Amino acid sequence: MAIFRFKALELVQSRKPLEVTLPSTKVSEFYGSNVFGKNAMKEYLSDEAYESVMGAIEKGTNIDRKVADQVASAMKAWATSKGATHYTHWFQPLTGTTAEKHDAFFEPLEGGGAIEKFSGSQLVQQEPDASSFPNGGIRNTFEARGYTAWDPTSPAFIIAKELCIPTVFISYTGEALDYKTPLLKALSVIDKAASEVCQYFDKNVTKVISTLGWEQEYFLVDEALFQARPDLLMTGRSVFGHIPAKGQQLEDHYFGSIPDRVTAYMREFEIESLKLGIPVKTRHNEVAPNQFECAPIFEEANLAVDHNQLLMDLMHKIAIKHNFRVLLHEKPFAGVNGSGKHNNWSLSTNTGKNLLSPGKTPKNNLQFLTFFVNTIKAVHDNADLLRASIASAGNEHRLGANEAPPSIVSIFIGSHLTSVLEELEKKVKNGKLSPDEKTDLKLNIIGKIPEILLDNTDRNRTSPFAFTGNKFEFRAVGSSANCSSAMTTINTIVANQLIIFKKSVDELIAKGINKDEAILQILRGYIVDSKRILFEGNGYGEEWVKEAAKRGLSNIKSAPRALEAFVSKQTMEMFERLHILSHVEQEARFEIYQETYTKKIQIESRIIGDLAQNHIIPIALKYQNTLIENAKGLKEMFAAAEFKKYSAVQLRLIAEISDHISVIQDSVDKMIEARKKANKIEDAKKRAYAYADNVKPFFDTIRYNVDKLELLVDDEMWPLPKYRELLYTK
Ligand code: ADP
Ligand code: MG
């Protein structure tokens, strides 16, 4: 029997890197060429229409129908000049991918012929059939109408022959069905809340934007090997596979040279990204073999999220061209580093100031401290929600395993800022400060903050939420996630916190306390309240798990349980009050996330059962038969005493194989029973719990025994490409 695994390995050996030519050696000559951005708009729009679109982008003003018609016709002219024939509303449903519905520009004319047409109403709103997207029971299936509506803050772009228009996706009754809608609302709420707090320091601030710089980690596997692993094909992760002799213990991969085939692939998706205005800048190897990272320069959060979604799409499409498959799963290989998507987050003003970057003057530093401490307080008070925002079946495999942040939310701020906060706590008093005390505070604490900028060596890579000099880095986000969930959450909780802060400070000011003192007093209270979440040690260690428990910090390992924080009283109240998501929307989302979890575990469970039963057990039996034949032959040849001596190994192997097979078969049977039971549960939450508690635990037992068989069975017979082949073949 020809084993596909060996054919695949042969194919891999014959691969050559593809030739990829840069459109120009100067990136500036093609950067953004496929985007209907400012330059294209200036060229194709009247001044009036251009101003109107810019107003919508910068101030959130409405675009009227007449202008929308103009914009549509300009977009069409621009797009057709670039060879586009279709347009599509591009949106981000809660499936986690992006969705499109394509329509041609042409419209037939009466009496024959056709014209190219694209009107304002087609630009502004579309009605895709929404029945197949998850909606958590908001829309009855017979009422399958959902609307997509143009988001002018993210520019239209061309992929292949399609003009893609970024849109939000809402139900007929007005509820959000996507990731973008609540994100846009959160961004508007943080803008308002942060701008108001900025008034304490700088009256020129009229707008605050949230910035996001993501770092996308991924694995590459050769197409042929991927096809030979039904588990990778169906779930994006390998459900079996013994750790290779050489794992990542040598750490020789990190920043090592990138293989030519991979470089060609990276170059091509970078070129396509740059044409789409995605400012990809760095690429390097990651910790594990065949793992890589791509990071752009940070952008306004909504744009950065769209760009990440686009990039993930491009990565998939272009990988296939290069005979690769890209794995965006959080944990494609057990025992090997997983993949995350660090979300670097900050706030930036229209005056060009990064609010999380300490400045040169004491006033700037107090502003920095204000945003810094409020962020800590927000994370402290909403740690469970932040944990929920990154909960998924994939990330559940990653968090807390092999060099990944644990499920405990903590914040790393570095030793300098730790001592600044300690000093503040000691020196700020309730009530008025003496002139000496004020000078001391100004000179010795606030005045010293900029020094932290000079020392950037203070880094801790084990923290899920780390301050890195001028931004916070949320490292627990999963590699396949839509960043919106994390970004909506961070911006909402910080906005909420800033609103509370402003109210408290204003109350003190009204009592006659000087503004700076009022700010310091409130901040001091926050430091006291939230310092238990600050942690500078090793977040990967067992010690921290114990210490965190002592501090009363949550450590929610199970994804479906982590999701609970989305519907806690506290979250529901905050999201509703700030108009991010209503109770109904929040509950619908909760249900969708639970269902997605269930489906993912269900698919994994099916593929585990199928592979074990149809691939692994038959091969193990076959190999066992050769051992039995061998033993029989020996028995014929030798007298009893010699037979005993010469067949000892074979007999032991035969028994071992039988032992593993029986555990595997027994576990598969029980797992199927557990699945059947779970499937009968009506309630989405309880069903997800049943999958997590009663189905998933079999995965480890089955895997352990299959991986043992991998070590016992003749390599020539083993059907699945092994870890060393998936991770090391180039
Ligand atoms: P690493 O975490 O791998 O050491 P870097 O520190 O180089 O990598 O990561 C920097 C990331 O942070 C980049 O994606 C960068 O664009 C982003 N970044 C830098 N400044 C900001 C900011 N003000 N807001 C958001 N993201 C930022
Ligand atoms: Mg990082």
Kindly report, residue by residue over 601-612, the tens digit of the pLDDT: 999 999 999 999
- Which DSSP string corresponds to 610-673? HHIIIIIHHHHHHHHHHHHHHHHHHHHHS-HHHHHHHTHHHHHHHHHHHHHHHHHHHHHHHHHH
For position 572, what pLDDT does the model report?
97
371 CB under 6 A from ligand 1? Answer: no
Q: Check residue 145 and report its DSSP letter.
A: B
Q: What is the pLDDT of residue 502?
A: 98
Task: Give the model's confidence band at 264: pLDDT under 50 very low, under 70 low, under 90 confident, else very high.
Answer: very high
CATH 3.10.20.70 residue ranges of the chain are 31-177
Ligand 1 binding pocket mutation candidate from 254, 284, 287, 298 (most atoms within 8 A of CB): 298
Q: How far is the CA of 118 from the centre of ligand 1 (A)?
A: 39
Q: What are phi and psi of 147, to 5 degrees?
A: -110, 145
- Type of residue numbered 118: F
**Does ligand 1 lie within 6 Å of residue 460's CB atom?**
no
The secondary structure of residue 567, as a DSSP letter, is G
* 728 within 8 A of 680, measured Cβ to Cβ: no
| CA 293 – ligand 1 centroid, Å | 13
Number of other residues whose CB lies within 10 A of the CB of residue 21: 8
For residue 207, what pLDDT is reported?
Answer: 96
Q: Indicate if ligand 1 lies below 6 Å from the C-beta of 212.
A: yes
- Structural element, H or E, at residue 528: helix 515-530
Residue 489 CB less than 6 A away from ligand 1 = no
> CB atoms < 10 A from the CB of 507, how many?
12
Helix (H) or strand (E) holding 168: strand 162-171
In sequence order, which ranges of 382-414 are alpha helices (DSSP H)? 383-388, 393-398
User: What residue's CA is closest to ligand 1, atom 13?
Assistant: 213
137: left (phi over 0), alpha (psi -120 to 50) or beta: left
Domain with CATH 3.30.590.10 in the chain: 187-581
The domain 596-728 is placed in CATH, from the list 3.40.50.720, 3.40.630.30, 1.20.120.1560, 3.40.718.10, at: 1.20.120.1560
* Ligand 1 proximity of 213 Cβ (cutoff 6 Å): yes
Q: How far apart (Å, rounded) are the C-alpha atoms in residues 385 and 573?
A: 13
293 pocket-lining for ligand 1 (C-beta < 6 Å): no
Contact 475 CB / ligand 1 (< 6 Å):
no
Distance CA 58, CA 488 (A): 19
Q: For the residues 75-89, what does the mean pLDDT come to?
A: 93
- Compute the mean pLDDT over every residue in the chain, rounded to the nearest whole number: 91
CB distance 357 to ligand 1 below 6 Å? no
Ligand 1 pocket test, pick from 344, 371, 372, 412 with the greatest ligand atom count within 8 Å of Cβ, gives 344
pLDDT for residue 336 is more than 70? yes
Ligand lying closest to the C-alpha of residue 303? 1
Q: How does residue 144 score in pLDDT terms, banded at 50, 70 and 90?
A: low
* Whole-number pLDDT of residue 416: 85
Q: What is the pLDDT of residue 142?
A: 44
Nearest to 11 by CA among 222, 262, 316, 219: 222
Q: What backbone phi and psi angles, to 5 degrees, belong to 243?
A: -60, 135
pLDDT at 523 exceeding the cut of 60: yes
Q: In sequence order, which residues have a C-beta less than 8 Å from that of residue 630 and are 6 or more positions away? A: 647, 650
User: Average pLDDT for residues 50-79, to the nearest whole number?
Assistant: 90
Ligand 1 atom index nearest CA of 354: 23
141, pLDDT greater than 70: no
Residue predicted with more confidence, 417 or 458: 417
Whether the CB of 298 sits within 6 Å of ligand 1: yes
- In the block, tokens 């000892």 appear at 648
Please give the full DSSP string across 453-476, using - where no structure is assigned: HH------TT-SEEE-SSSEEE--
Residue 474 beta carbon below 6 angstroms from any ligand 1 atom? no
Q: Please report the pLDDT score of residue 431 as a whole number.
A: 66
Nearest CA to ligand 1 atom 3: 215
Pocket of ligand 1 contains residue 215 by CB under 6 Å = yes
| Alpha-carbon gap, residue 378 to 525, rounded angstroms | 13
Using alpha carbons, select from 430, 515, 412 the residue that is nearest to residue 472: 412
Distance 215 CA to ligand 2 centre (A): 6
Alpha-carbon span 291 to 284, nearest angstrom: 9
pLDDT for the residue 246 = 63
Q: Is 64:48 a contact under the CB 8 Å cutoff?
A: no
DSSP state of 692: I
Q: In ligand 1, which atom is closest to the CA atom of 214?
A: 14
- Pick the atom of ligand 1 nearest to 356's CA: 23
Q: How far apart are CA 138 and CA 43, in angstroms?
A: 43
Q: Is the CB of 297 under 6 A from ligand 1?
A: yes
473 CA to centre of ligand 2 in angstroms: 7
Q: Which residue's CA is the closest to the ligand 1 atom numbered 23?
A: 346
Q: Which CATH number fits domain 31-177: 3.10.20.70, 3.90.1150.10, 3.50.50.60, 3.40.120.10?
A: 3.10.20.70
Q: Tell me how far apart the alpha carbons of residues 344 and 473 are, in angstroms, rounded to a whole number.
A: 4
Closest atom of ligand 1 to CA, residue 296:
14
More confident residue, 119 or 618: 618
CATH 1.20.120.1560 placement within the chain: 596-728
DSSP H or E run through 291: strand 291-296
Distance CA 202, CA 363 (A): 9
Contact 211, 299 (CB under 8 A): yes
148-152, 230-234, 320-324: which range is least confident on average?
148-152
The closest-lying atom of ligand 1 relative to the alpha carbon of residue 344 is: 26
**Ligand 1: which of 375, 471, 472, 475 to mutate, judged by most atoms within 8 Å of the beta carbon?**
471
User: Rounded to whole angstroms, what are the CA distances from 18 to 323, 324, 394, 602?
Assistant: 10, 11, 32, 38
| Amino acid symbol at 284 | H
Q: Which atom of ligand 1 is nearest to the CA of 298?
A: 16
Check if the beta carbon of residue 329 is closer than 8 Å to that of residue 480.
yes
Ligand 2 centre and the CA of 285: distance in Å? 13
Ligand 1 center to residue 523 CA distance, Å?
27
**What gap in Å lies between CA 68 and CA 153, rounded to an integer?**
14
CA 290 to chain centre: 19
CB of residue 211 inside a 6 A radius of ligand 1: yes
- Residue 444 is encoded by which pair of tokens? 């010795």
User: φ and ψ at 340, to 5 degrees?
Assistant: -120, 180
Please report, rounded to a whole number, the percentage of residues in the chain having pLDDT higher than 70: 95
Our answer on whether the CB atom of 344 is closer than 6 Å to any ligand 1 atom is yes
CB atoms within 10 A of CB 193: 24
Q: Which of 657, 662, 664, 659 is nearest to 699 (CA)?
A: 664
Residue 317 has pLDDT above 50, yes or no: yes
Q: Whose CA is nearest to atom 6 of ligand 1?
A: 468
More confident residue, 444 or 500: 500
Residue 333 pLDDT greater than 80, yes or no:
yes
Residue with tokens 């621009």: 78
| 107-123 average pLDDT score | 81
DSSP 28-89: GGTTTTTB--HHHHHHHS-HHHHHHHHHHHHH-----HHHHHHHHHHHHHHHHHTT--EEEE
Give the confidence band of 115 by pLDDT, cuts at 50, 70, 90. confident
* Residue 130 confidence (pLDDT): 62
- Side chain identity, residue 116: E
| C-alpha 384 to ligand 2 mean position (Å) | 22
Look at residue 169 and give its three-state secondary structure: strand
Beta strand residue intervals within 297-442, DSSP E: 299-300, 324-327, 341-349, 411-412
Q: What is this structure's pTM?
A: 0.95
Tokens read off for 502: 């402003």
Helix (H, G, I), strand (E, B) or coil at 547: helix
Cα(286) to centroid(ligand 2), Å: 11
Measured CA to CA in angstroms, residue 237 lies from 96, 154, 169, 336, 342 at distances of: 17, 33, 30, 12, 20
Q: What is the pLDDT of residue 180?
A: 96
Query: In whole angstroms, what separates CA 670 from the centre of its chain?
Result: 33
The three-state DSSP-derived secondary structure of 438-456 is HHHHHHHHHHHCCHHHHCC
Distance between CA atoms of residues 231 and 5, nearest Å:
14
131 lines ligand 1 (CB under 6 A): no
- For the 187-581 domain, the top CATH level (class) is alpha beta
Distance (angstroms) between ligand 2 centre and the Cα of 342 equals 5
Please give the residue that has the higher pLDDT: either 56 or 447: 56
CA nearest ligand 1 atom 1, residue: 215
